[in-house]
Chain A
Amino acid sequence: MEVKIKVNHKNITDNIPADLLLIDFLRKHGFYSVKRGCDTANCGLCTVLIADEPVLSCAVLTARANGSHITTLEGMQKEAEVFGSFMADEGAEQCGFCSPGFIMSVLAMEKEFEKKGITNPSEDQINKYLSGNLCRCTGYMSHTRAIMKYLKRAGGLK
Chain B
Amino acid sequence: MKIVNTSINKMDSKSLVTGKPVYTDDIAPTNALIVKLLRSPHAHALIKSINKTNAMKVPGIECILTWEDLEQNRFTTAGQSFPEPSPQDRQILDRRLRCVGDPVAIVAGSDEKSVLRAISLIKVEYDVLEPILDFRKAKDNEILIHPEENWEALCQVGADNKKNLCAHEVFEYGDIEGELKACEIVIDEIYHTKANSQTMMEPFCTYTHLDTYGRLSIVSSTQVPFHVRRIAAKALGLPKSQIRVVKPRIGGGFGAKQSVVSELFPAAVTMATGKPAKMIFTRKESFTNGSPRHEMEIHVKLGANMEGDIKAIYMYTLSNAGAYGDHGPTTVGLVGHKSMAIYNHANAYKFDYDVVYTNNPWGGAYRGYGATQGFFALESAINELAVKLNMDPIELRRKNLVQVGEKMTAYYGETLESCALTECIEKAKEMTDWDHKYPCRDMGNDKIRAIGMAVAMQGSGISNLDIASAELKLNDEGFYTLMLGSADMGTGCDTILAQMAAECLECQVDKIIVHGVDTDISPYDTGSYASSTTYITGNAVIKTCETFIEKMIQESAKILHCDNDDLEFDGTRIYQRNGEKQITIKELGNASYLGGHNCISASESFYSPVSPPPFMAGIVEIELDKTTGQVDIIDFAAVVDCGTPINPNLARIQTEGGIAQGIGMALFEDVLYDKEGRMMTDSFMQYKIPSRLDVGKIRVEFESSYEPTGPFGAKSIGEIVINTPAPALASAIYNASKVKLTELPMTSEKILLGMLENEKQDKHDFTGGW
For residue A134, CB closer than 8 A to chain B, the reply is yes
Pairwise interchain contact A93-B652, C-beta atoms closer than 8 A: no
- 8 Å CB interface, B179-216 against A: 198-203
Pairwise interchain contact B650-A88, C-beta atoms closer than 8 A: no
What residues of B have a CB within 8 angstroms of the CB of A144 in the complex? 692
What residues of A have a CB within 8 angstroms of the CB of B684 in the complex? 38, 40, 42-43, 134
Q: Mark A78-90, 1 if CB is under 8 A from B, else 0.
A: 0011011101111
- 8 Å CB interface, A75-105 against B: 77, 80-81, 83-85, 87-100, 103
Pairwise interchain contact B249-A38, C-beta atoms closer than 8 A: no
Which residue of A35, A91, A103, A136 contacts B199 across the interface (Cβ within 8 Å)?
Answer: A136
- 8 Å CB interface, B252-283 against A: 252, 254, 280, 282-283
What residues of A have a CB within 8 angstroms of the CB of B252 in the complex? 94-95, 97, 136-137
For residue B54, CB closer than 8 A to chain A, the reply is no
A to B CB contacts below 8 Å, 21 in the list: A33-B18, A33-B21, A37-B283, A39-B282, A40-B685, A73-B19, A88-B10, A90-B653, A91-B7, A91-B10, A91-B653, A93-B17, A95-B202, A96-B490, A98-B201, A99-B17, A127-B692, A134-B201, A136-B199, A136-B254, A144-B692
Pairwise interchain contact A32-B657, C-beta atoms closer than 8 A: no
Query: Separation in Å of the A106 CB from the closest CB of chain B?
Result: 11
Pairwise interchain contact A81-B14, C-beta atoms closer than 8 A: yes
Given A95-B202, A136-B661, answer yes or no on A84-B18 (Cβ-Cβ < 8 Å). yes
What residues of B have a CB within 8 angstroms of the CB of A55 in the complex? none
Most buried by A among B7, B201, B254, B284: B201
Pairwise interchain contact B17-A103, C-beta atoms closer than 8 A: yes
Query: Separation in Å of the B766 CB from the closest CB of chain A?
Result: 44
Given A89-B9, A95-B200, A127-B692, answer yes or no on A80-B653 (Cβ-Cβ < 8 Å). no
For residue B698, CB closer than 8 A to chain A, the reply is yes
Pairwise interchain contact B490-A87, C-beta atoms closer than 8 A: no
What residues of A have a CB within 8 angstroms of the CB of B19 in the complex? 32-33, 72-74, 80, 99-100, 103
Query: Separation in Å of the B34 CB from the closest CB of chain A?
Result: 12
Given A40-B683, A91-B650, answer yes or no on A138-B656 (Cβ-Cβ < 8 Å). yes
What residues of B have a CB within 8 angstroms of the CB of A92 in the complex? 653
Pairwise interchain contact A32-B692, C-beta atoms closer than 8 A: no
Q: A95-B251, A96-B490, A141-B695 are in contact. List 7 more A-B contacts (CB 8 A).
A: A91-B7, A93-B17, A96-B16, A100-B19, A103-B19, A136-B689, A139-B659
What residues of B have a CB within 8 angstroms of the CB of A95 in the complex? 16, 200-202, 249-252, 489-491
What residues of B have a CB within 8 angstroms of the CB of A135 in the complex? 201, 692
For residue A49, CB closer than 8 A to chain B, the reply is no
- Closest chain B residue to A142 by CB distance? B653
What residues of B have a CB within 8 angstroms of the CB of A141 in the complex? 656, 695, 697-698, 700
Given A33-B19, A127-B693, answer yes or no on A137-B683 (Cβ-Cβ < 8 Å). no
For residue B26, CB closer than 8 A to chain A, the reply is yes
**Range of interface residues on B (Cβ < 8 Å):** 35 or more
Pairwise interchain contact A96-B492, C-beta atoms closer than 8 A: no
Pairwise interchain contact A94-B657, C-beta atoms closer than 8 A: yes
Which residue of A32, A93, A132, A142 contacts B13 across the interface (Cβ within 8 Å)?
Answer: A93
Which residue of B113, B201, B284, B658 contacts A97 across the interface (Cβ within 8 Å)?
Answer: B201
What residues of A have a CB within 8 angstroms of the CB of B7 in the complex? 91
Query: Separation in Å of the B422 CB from the closest CB of chain A?
Result: 25
What residues of B have a CB within 8 angstroms of the CB of A36 in the complex? 25, 203, 280
Top 3 nearest A-B pairs by Cβ distance? A95-B490, A33-B19, A84-B17
Task: Tell me the bound Cα distance from A109 to B770 in angstroms.
Answer: 50
Pairwise interchain contact B14-A140, C-beta atoms closer than 8 A: no
For residue B12, CB closer than 8 A to chain A, the reply is yes
User: Taking chain B's interface residues, is the majority helix, strand, or loop, or is none over half, making it mixed?
Assistant: loop
Chain B residues in the interface with A (C-beta under 8 A): 7, 9-10, 12-23, 25-26, 113, 198-203, 249-252, 254, 280, 282-284, 489-492, 647, 649-650, 652-653, 655-661, 683-685, 689-693, 695, 697-698, 700
**Range of interface residues on A (Cβ < 8 Å):** 35 or more
Most buried by A among B252, B254, B282: B252
Task: Tell me the bound Cα distance from A39 to B113 in angstroms.
Answer: 16
Pairwise interchain contact B491-A131, C-beta atoms closer than 8 A: no
User: Taking chain A's interface residues, is the majority helix, strand, or loop, or is none over half, making it mixed?
Assistant: loop
Pairwise interchain contact B10-A45, C-beta atoms closer than 8 A: no
Task: Tell me the bound Cα distance from A45 to B201 in angstroms.
Answer: 8
- Closest chain A residue to B495 by CB distance? A91
Pairwise interchain contact B695-A136, C-beta atoms closer than 8 A: no
For residue A130, CB closer than 8 A to chain B, the reply is yes
What residues of B have a CB within 8 angstroms of the CB of A37 in the complex? 201-203, 283
Task: Tell me the bound Cα distance from A132 to B522 in angstroms.
Answer: 39
Task: Tell me the bound Cα distance from A95 to B254 in angstroms.
Answer: 11
Q: Mark A12-38, 1 if CB is under 8 A from B, else 0.
A: 000001000000000000001101111
Q: Mark A138-151, 1 if CB is under 8 A from B, else 0.
A: 11111110000000
Which residue of A17, A96, A132, A140 contacts B17 across the interface (Cβ within 8 Å)?
Answer: A96
Pairwise interchain contact A32-B26, C-beta atoms closer than 8 A: yes
Given A91-B10, A95-B490, answer yes or no on A38-B202 (Cβ-Cβ < 8 Å). no
Query: Separation in Å of the A49 CB from the closest CB of chain B?
Result: 13
What residues of B have a CB within 8 angstroms of the CB of A130 in the complex? 692
For residue A128, CB closer than 8 A to chain B, the reply is yes
Given A42-B685, A80-B17, A95-B201, answer yes or no on A138-B284 (Cβ-Cβ < 8 Å). no
Most buried by A among B12, B202, B250, B489: B202
Pairwise interchain contact A80-B491, C-beta atoms closer than 8 A: no
Query: Separation in Å of the B426 CB from the closest CB of chain A?
Result: 23
Task: Tell me the bound Cα distance from A154 to B79 in angstroms.
Answer: 49
Given A32-B19, A136-B252, answer yes or no on A88-B14 (Cβ-Cβ < 8 Å). yes
Given A91-B647, A136-B201, answer yes or no on A131-B691 (Cβ-Cβ < 8 Å). yes
Task: Tell me the bound Cα distance from A32 to B18 in angstroms.
Answer: 11
What residues of B have a CB within 8 angstroms of the CB of A40 in the complex? 283, 683-685
What residues of B have a CB within 8 angstroms of the CB of A17 in the complex? 113
Pairwise interchain contact B17-A131, C-beta atoms closer than 8 A: no
Query: Separation in Å of the B604 CB from the closest CB of chain A?
Result: 28
Given A39-B283, A130-B692, A141-B698, answer yes or no on A97-B10 (Cβ-Cβ < 8 Å). no
